[in-house]
């Protein structure tokens, strides 16, 4: 599934431009040290972590897109770095559990 398809199917508006990468699996974590050693390239990342170093980490492991759960929204400098890295950011009102169920129903594992 492409990032644009995800946005449409789940009804989320991106916080930045859509960089239409392929989504290959999901990784859920709020710790960059966990993401760097555990996430796979192409993963969709779900998190509440909004520090700028999240983008540095996501870029290093080639995350396809990030969803901030529980309506979290990062600062402008974080969004700007995500734009430079070509990583689409979303903010969802749902919590991690409910969003994970929704993604599962969409066939994203």
Interface contacts to another protein, rule CB under 8 A = 21-22, 24, 31-34, 36-37, 40-42, 51-53, 55-57, 59-62, 64, 81, 85-86
Nearer to another protein, 31 or 101 (CB): 31
Report the nearest approach of another protein to the CB of residue 57 (Å): 5
User: Exposed/middle/buried for 93, CB within 10 Å: 0-12, 13-18, 19+?
Assistant: exposed
Nearer to another protein, 40 or 104 (CB): 40
Report the nearest approach of another protein to the CB of residue 64 (Å): 8
Query: Rounded CA gap, 107 and 109, in Å?
Result: 6
Report the nearest approach of another protein to the CB of residue 80 (Å): 11
Report the nearest approach of another protein to the CB of residue 105 (Å): 25
Give the Cβ contact number of residue 33 at 10 Å: 9
DSSP percent split of the chain into helix, strand, coil, nearest 5? 40, 15, 45
31: tokens are: 């710790």
């Amino acid at each position: 599934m492409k990032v644009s398809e995800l946005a449409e199917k789940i009804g989320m508006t991106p916080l930045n431009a859509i960089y239409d990468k392929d989504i290959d699996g999901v990784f859920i974590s709020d710790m960059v040290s966990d993401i760097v050693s555990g996430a796979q390239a192409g993963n969709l990342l779900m998190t509440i972590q909004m520090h700028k170093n999240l983008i540095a980490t996501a870029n290093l492991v080639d995350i396809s897109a990030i969803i901030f759960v529980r309506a979290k929204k990062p600062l402008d400098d974080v969004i700007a770095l995500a734009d430079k890295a070509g990583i689409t950011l979303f903010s969802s009102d749902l919590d991690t559990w409910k969003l994970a169920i929704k993604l599962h129903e969409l066939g994203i594992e």
